[in-house]
């Protein structure tokens, strides 16, 4: 049998032709001597008509009680039918149950916690097939952008001996007779590799032991991170906006049907194709928020609520720059014209989604980096190797981290970031 993807045969080219498909039972009903079985595969859903006059009463009777998600094979003639999903159906000349399914635990109407407990079954939904195809396209487009522009993909470690973003959000791991940590970011190791390859990037999982309960935080997520020698903050902001515009363009080009399944307004996404993106400084952001009645003052870190208010001022992604030094990490370069702020930036997505990229220029001066480490309470001995980079041919350099799940959440218009992971990990969940 020559099995075809369901989506490929649901067109007029195949009408009147005999084809074979295989997949899982998505819906089914039996009326009189006919069973109407909606079969799904990774490409789509097609209705299969099983007629007892052709295939016998016994088969149709068995389909009265067949459970959802039973695996099946079917061959037959493709016909146009306006009442069928997608406008086509298969009139079976052959139908076989491969793997039975009884009392499938998802009936419809269950709450989120129940569905997360049966996540291994829930993600069979065509909705997740569409979502994970979009995520695949996002990842592929990111790699494609860097490859086409002369960047080298590298493989930094996941187990580390020191913090990148702060000790309070580290996951400790027993490493033989030592304590190691799951990586929060590949950044520090990428900085090592710029002295070898100049322009590098990696795609790795990152782990943050944050106790946040917002709709955009995960304990484990995927991090696309570039780092480049000789780049200042503005150079890297240009890379960031080009990358996001390229990713969005590829999703619009290759995954339009999947976006429509999510009801996404593609006109809003197209705004992200227009670069350069707007830029505002932290000072301006504080003024905007205060005018809107938000209780915030200069020096406060901006969280999800404040970012949501800011995003309502823009129709496209936009940059927020020059943050106070005390709210940013030790590696951020101080602004020579105002040492109270750093040469850092966040890229915020519109429509309330907030930060999808965080980055900036790195401190390349040994003495200043050492002072910042001590200022923020770190032990310089833990970062001796990192400080060495500033002793032996230091250069200006910059980088950023893009959260894959955050950009997918925005592109698809999802309400919660946990939807973007097959098996989301956050404070309350490690099962399944």
Cα radius of gyration rounded to whole Å, the chain: 26
What is the spatial distance between Cα 252 and Cα 264, in angstroms, rounded to a whole number? 11
Residue 109, CA atoms < 13 Å, CB-side half-sphere? 1
Tell me what pLDDT residue 391 has: 98
Residue closest to 210 by CA, chosen among 171, 253, 259, 254: 171
What is the C-alpha end-to-end distance of the chain, expressed in Å? 36
Residue closest to 284 by CA, chosen among 312, 308, 310, 262: 310
State the CB neighbour count (10 A cutoff) for residue 306. 20
Domains and CATH numbers, the chain: 6-99 (2.40.50.140), 120-419 (3.30.930.10)
Q: How many residues appear in the chain?
A: 432
Residue 249, CA atoms < 13 Å, CB-side half-sphere? 12
What is the spatial distance between Cα 420 and Cα 130, in angstroms, rounded to a whole number? 11
Adjacent-strand bridge partners of 71: 24, 99
What is the spatial distance between Cα 364 and Cα 191, in angstroms, rounded to a whole number? 10
What is the spatial distance between Cα 359 and Cα 346, in angstroms, rounded to a whole number? 6
What is the spatial distance between Cα 254 and Cα 402, in angstroms, rounded to a whole number? 21
CA 342 from centroid of its chain's CA atoms: 28
Tell me what pLDDT residue 212 has: 78
Tell me what pLDDT residue 291 has: 97
Angle among Cα 93, 96, 99 to the nearest 5 degrees reads 160
Answer whether 76's CB lies under 8 Å from 93's CB.
yes
Tell me what pLDDT residue 294 has: 97
Residues of the chain with pLDDT under 70: none
Tell me what pLDDT residue 211 has: 83
What is the spatial distance between Cα 182 and Cα 201, in angstroms, rounded to a whole number? 19
Tell me what pLDDT residue 164 has: 85
Adjacent-strand bridge partners of 48: 37, 90
Tell me what pLDDT residue 158 has: 97
CA 409 from centroid of its chain's CA atoms: 6
Distances (CA, A) of 318 to 54, 237, 313, 400: 62, 10, 10, 15
Tell me what pLDDT residue 162 has: 83
């Amino acid at each position: 049998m020559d099995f075809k993807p369901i989506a490929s045969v649901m067109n007029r080219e195949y009408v009147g032709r005999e084809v074979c498909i295989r997949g899982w039972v998505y819906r089914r009903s039996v009326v009189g001597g006919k069973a109407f079985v909606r079969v799904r595969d990774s490409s789509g859903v097609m209705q299969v008509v099983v007629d007892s006059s052709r295939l016998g009463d016994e088969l149709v009777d068995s389909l009265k009680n067949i459970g959802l998600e039973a695996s099946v094979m079917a061959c037959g003639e493709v016909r146009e039918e306006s009442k069928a999903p997608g406008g086509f159906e298969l009139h079976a000349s052959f139908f076989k149950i491969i793997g039975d399914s009884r009392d499938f635990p998802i009936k419809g109407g269950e709450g989120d916690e129940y569905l997360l407990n049966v996540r291994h079954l829930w993600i069979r939904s065509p909705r997740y097939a569409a979502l994970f195809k979009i995520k695949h396209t996002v990842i592929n487009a990111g790699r494609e952008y860097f490859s086409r522009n002369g960047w080298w993909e590298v493989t930094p470690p996941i187990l580390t001996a020191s913090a990148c973003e702060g000790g309070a959000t580290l996951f400790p791991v027993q490493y033989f007779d030592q304590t190691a940590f799951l990586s929060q970011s590949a950044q520090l190791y990428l900085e090592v590799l710029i002295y070898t390859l100049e322009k590098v990037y990696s795609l790795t999982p990152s782990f943050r032991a944050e106790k946040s309960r917002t709709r955009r935080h995960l304990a484990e997520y995927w991090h696309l991170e570039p780092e480049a020698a000789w780049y200042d903050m503005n150079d890297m902001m240009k890379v960031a906006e080009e990358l996001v515009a390229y990713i969005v363009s590829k999703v619009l080009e290759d995954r339009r049907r999947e976006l429509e399944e999510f009801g996404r307004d593609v006109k809003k996404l197209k705004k992200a194709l227009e670069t350069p993106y707007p830029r505002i400084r932290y000072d301006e952001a504080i003024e905007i928020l205060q005018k809107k009645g938000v209780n915030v003052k200069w020096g406060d870190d901006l969280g999800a609520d404040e970012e949501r208010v800011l995003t309502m001022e823009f129709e496209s992604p936009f940059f927020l720059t020059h943050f106070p030094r005390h709210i940013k990490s030790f590696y951020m370069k101080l602004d020579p014209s105002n040492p109270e702020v750093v040469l850092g930036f966040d890229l915020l997505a519109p429509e309330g989604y907030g930060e999808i990229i965080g980055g900036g220029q790195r401190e390349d001066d040994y003495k200043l980096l050492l002072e910042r480490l001590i200022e923020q309470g770190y032990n310089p001995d833990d970062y001796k190797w990192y400080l060495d980079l500033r002793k032996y041919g230091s250069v200006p350099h910059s980088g950023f981290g893009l959260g894959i799940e955050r950009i997918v959440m925005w592109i698809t218009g999802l309400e919660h970031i946990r939807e973007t992971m097959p098996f989301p990990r956050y404070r309350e969940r490690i099962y399944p």
